Amino acid sequence: MLNLQTHKARFTNPLYLESGRILEPYEIAYETYGTLNDDKSNVIVVFHALTGSHHVAGTYEGESKAGWWDGLIGAGKTIDTNRFFVICTNVIGSCFGSTSPMSDNYPSTEPFRYKFPVLTIADMVKAQYILFSSLGIHHAFAAIGGSMGGMQALQFAQRYPNFAARTIVLAATHATSAYAIAFNKISQEAILKDPAFKNGYYEKGAFAQNGLSGMAIGRMAGHISFLSHSSMSKKFGRDYVQNDGLYELFGRFEVERYLEYNSYNFTRWFDPLSYLYIIKAINIFDLGRGYDSLADALKHLKTKLTLISFKADLLFLPQESLEIHQAMQANNLPSTYIEIDSNYGHDAFLVELELFKEHITKALQ
């Protein structure tokens, strides 16, 4: 039984952030699936990626689009909700119900906008840990996430080593590379330079109808980084849009139409300030910051770690996951490293579920 339930929790105690700032009060939107057993030993925490949300599985009433990992989570699926109680939160800073830059800056009814504090991945997981504690959940059977979700899973294992018995990380890294930061810079500049962005002082819902052109351009760069040369060639080749003339200046190849459609559509439902704040958190992420080495940063982990990378991932290279595995080995800590032979690119963790389902099943045994 999926038993999808949507919740929102409000906290009035201050959340002390890594920057030294305070967020108070704040809200966290989250969803649960399955049934929590009596001793609360069947919890699996799922962390979402940059543009994901707490809606990880199932469909809402009246809607057809399923949660972003619906192929993996549900009754009888790899993460079986007949067995496990799954919980996924919307990170603070995101625009799907948790406190974000466009939330009211209490006690004012005006949005935070730039008064919202810069967040880190550690701040996100700290808020999640407080939520789980408020629910009486002090231990998880497993924690799992891909991309930015994998960053959260790693950060959680580091900051709260007694929480998750198993941690499964897909398509992630221990520190965001210059290559990834460069793509985020394109997104940032494109958003900031769009006059419709109004330097962050746009009205709520301003882009619901027509989107934000600058953000769409930045998102196009993001889409390219999520795929690979091979997957783009296989998906689009040199196919031309049939209704566009080959010798029209703005006639489009299918890959161009794909980028236009997905990127402009994206800007109708994802808030640009949230995007700026979250990519900043991704850029800052460095598991080894403040430690002598990555091995030193991981030496207190008590979780059984499974690292899954994808061969053609250009955003977070397999080598970056392998470095985490080697750091765990240096500490004689339990770690399994798997490189999936996939040509899809970074987004394989969302798309090519059949290639890694068995590895998750094994990690959950």
- Alpha-carbon distance of 357 to 359, in angstroms, equals 5
The active-site residue out of 48, 54, 174, 346 is: 346
Say whether 271 is catalytic. no
Which residue is catalytic, options 54, 313, 321, 325?
Answer: 313
Query: In the chain, count of helices (H) and strands (E)?
Result: 11, 12
Does residue 313 carry a catalytic annotation?
Answer: yes
- Report the C-alpha gap between 64 and 15 in whole angstroms: 36
Query: Choosing from 53, 94, 103, 147, which is the catalytic residue?
Result: 147
Which runs of consecutive H residues, i.e. helices, occur in the chain? Answer: 121-134, 148-159, 178-192, 213-226, 229-236, 254-266, 272-284, 294-298, 318-330, 348-351, 357-363
Please list, in sequence order, all residues whose beta carbon lies within 8 angstroms of the beta carbon of residue 281, skipping any fewer than 6 positions away: 93, 118, 119, 120, 121, 123, 124
Q: Quick one: DSSP state of residue 337?
A: E
Residue whose pair of structure tokens reads 């949300």 in the numeric block: 53
- Rounded-to-integer distance, Cα 281 and Cα 152, Å: 11
Q: What are phi and psi of 216, to 5 degrees?
A: -65, -40
Q: Which two tokens stand for residue 222?
A: 């993001």
Cα–Cα nearest to 295, from 265, 273, 328, 317: 328
Q: By C-alpha distance, which of 17, 330, 302, 294 is closest to 173?
A: 294
Torsion over CA: 319, 325, 329, 330 (sign): positive
**Does residue 43 sit in helix, strand or coil?**
strand
Residues with Cβ within 8 Å of 150's Cβ and at least 6 positions away in sequence, in order, are 47, 169, 170, 171, 172, 173
Instruction: Please report, as a single letter, which amino acid is at residue 117.
Output: P
* Active site (catalytic) residues: 147, 313, 346
